[in-house]
Chains A and B, each alone.
Chain A
């Protein structure tokens, strides 16, 4: 039976924000709780699936879809597109089931597929926009950053509103950064990957990931210095501490 010994599962690390941006680190996330209770479960399920157990795909989906979808929503800032990309990413994982190495971390793989699909969709959009008349608004609805989250059930409280505003400012700032910097930051701070896992997702060295995340953090601090200083106490990025 495939095991995940010695291989990180790519789960959001304790204390790394639990898959949430810095503004609501304490928010309860059901899929995160599932993951936290089952270290290596995703790799085990994927191992069963790769070995020919078709029924294991449902478990793979249940364990991986939450983090992957959250990552893609943050990356795209468009729920509809994130759903499309999640769909396509799982199809690719399915197509590559026979290539899976037992025990290999699944989430970094899923993130890398999702990021690749996102970059392809951006390229596709640029190409389409280029081929259309100048008067066209370049993908209007899809290009417009949408709400990266949904209101919490008790939204309306001042703190919730404040947190939502901050999240929107962070997402807007990340959206204006170079994609590589923003993704490095997202993988480390929002998805909770280790530096080596983020390097694998981005296809680069750990040093480069640290540098990109640091630049992203510096950029955020410049833009949101007042709020970050209050909320996070100027906490260094994970990259700075590792």
Chain B
């Protein structure tokens, strides 16, 4: 049977409640996005100021130095755009798009950053596996420290929005934050060993993806309604 229309009294009740309920201001999402972009730029600038550029940066060939950085930045921006999008129906990115972005971009960016190791960048090669692991753990910790505040920032950007796939969107936000961190670490760390780049620069994407998924569930999943 066709369900009946809502009762007329409901309209009056809702309109009365709406009149006294505070709402986000017009243009709130644009303002939020601009604030998030500014905060992201500030965070990156502050990180580079504190950590410093890699010591061989000036000696690196321009295509390597700026090319890898540009690819990482474009990848990070794309992932951020996908994860933070409101979508065509205000419910975030289509799940298929988010899945493809998650499955394709991080491995591609990792491969690119491993493949584009410049001969001029081998100023600090790794002596053995012990040193490799130690150095990689330092970069892992650095990546996590750089990415977690960005993940918080991206979660704030989506505050109050409906997310039907919270784990997926959270994972995409975590991956976006990890990719921004990857770009920053690339500008700071001079170690050119491919294994180090994989373990120290690219691998933190996986735990950050998991943390993002968890935080997505915590932040965007509905809560039981009090009755």
- Chain A: number of interface residues, binned into ranges: 35 or more
Q: Select A104's contact among B6, B17, B86, beta carbons within 8 Å.
A: B86
- CB contacts under 8 Å to A, within B1-33, are 1-7, 10-11, 13-15, 17-18, 21-29
The answer to the question of A38 belonging to the interface, with a C-beta cut-off of 8 Å to chain B, is no
Q: Please, what's the 1-or-0 string for A202-215, where 1 marks a CB less than 8 Å from any CB in chain B? A: 11111110000000
Of all chain B residues, which has the CB nearest A147? B1
Chain A residues within 8 Å of B127, by CB: none
Chain B residues within 8 Å of A88, by CB: 225
Q: Across the interface, do B28 and A87 meet the contact criterion of CB distance under 8 Å?
A: no
Of all chain B residues, which has the CB nearest A120? B222
The answer to the question of B62 belonging to the interface, with a C-beta cut-off of 8 Å to chain A, is no
Q: Across the interface, do B5 and A31 meet the contact criterion of CB distance under 8 Å?
A: yes
Q: A101-B29, A201-B89, A203-B165 are in contact. Are A95 and B95 (CB under 8 A)?
A: no
Q: Across the interface, do A27 and B88 meet the contact criterion of CB distance under 8 Å?
A: no
Q: Select A87's contact among B4, B17, B162, beta carbons within 8 Å.
A: B17
Q: Across the interface, do A199 and B87 meet the contact criterion of CB distance under 8 Å?
A: no
Q: Across the interface, do A104 and B89 meet the contact criterion of CB distance under 8 Å?
A: yes
Q: Across the interface, do B24 and A98 meet the contact criterion of CB distance under 8 Å?
A: yes
Q: Across the interface, do B164 and A200 meet the contact criterion of CB distance under 8 Å?
A: yes
Q: Across the interface, do B6 and A200 meet the contact criterion of CB distance under 8 Å?
A: no
Chain B residues within 8 Å of A167, by CB: 1
The answer to the question of B96 belonging to the interface, with a C-beta cut-off of 8 Å to chain A, is yes
Chain A residues within 8 Å of B15, by CB: 57-58, 61
Q: Select B162's contact among A66, A109, A199, beta carbons within 8 Å.
A: A109
- CB contacts under 8 Å to B, within A180-226, are 196-197, 199-208
Of all chain B residues, which has the CB nearest A6? B88
Q: Select A112's contact among B14, B18, B164, B223, beta carbons within 8 Å.
A: B164
Kindly state the separation between the CA atoms of A205 and B103 in the bound complex, as whole angstroms.
15
Of all chain A residues, which has the CB nearest B18? A94
The interface centre, meaning the residue of B3, B18, B26, B27 with most chain A CB atoms within 10 A of its CB, is B3
The interface centre, meaning the residue of A82, A116, A203 with most chain B CB atoms within 10 A of its CB, is A203
Chain A residues within 8 Å of B13, by CB: 87
Q: Across the interface, do A204 and B89 meet the contact criterion of CB distance under 8 Å?
A: no
Q: Please, what's the 1-or-0 string for B76-101, where 1 marks a CB less than 8 Å from any CB in chain A? A: 00000000001111111011100100
Q: A95-B21, A105-B89, A164-B1 are in contact. Are A51 and B6 (CB under 8 A)?
A: no
Q: A105-B88, A163-B1, A206-B96 are in contact. Are A83 and B10 (CB under 8 A)?
A: yes
Kindly state the separation between the CA atoms of A70 and B162 in the bound complex, as whole angstroms.
21
Q: Across the interface, do A199 and B95 meet the contact criterion of CB distance under 8 Å?
A: yes
Chain B residues within 8 Å of A87, by CB: 10, 13-14, 17
Q: Across the interface, do B5 and A108 meet the contact criterion of CB distance under 8 Å?
A: no
Q: Across the interface, do B222 and A116 meet the contact criterion of CB distance under 8 Å?
A: yes
Of all chain A residues, which has the CB nearest B5? A66
B interface residue numbers (CB < 8 A to A): 1-7, 10-11, 13-15, 17-18, 21-29, 86-92, 94-96, 99, 160-166, 168, 222-227
Q: Can you list 8 contacts pairing A with B, beta carbon distance less than 8 Å? A: A21-B1, A96-B23, A101-B86, A104-B86, A106-B90, A112-B91, A149-B2, A208-B95
The 9 closest A-B pairs by CB, nearest first: A149-B1, A203-B164, A98-B28, A98-B24, A203-B165, A124-B224, A108-B89, A109-B90, A73-B3
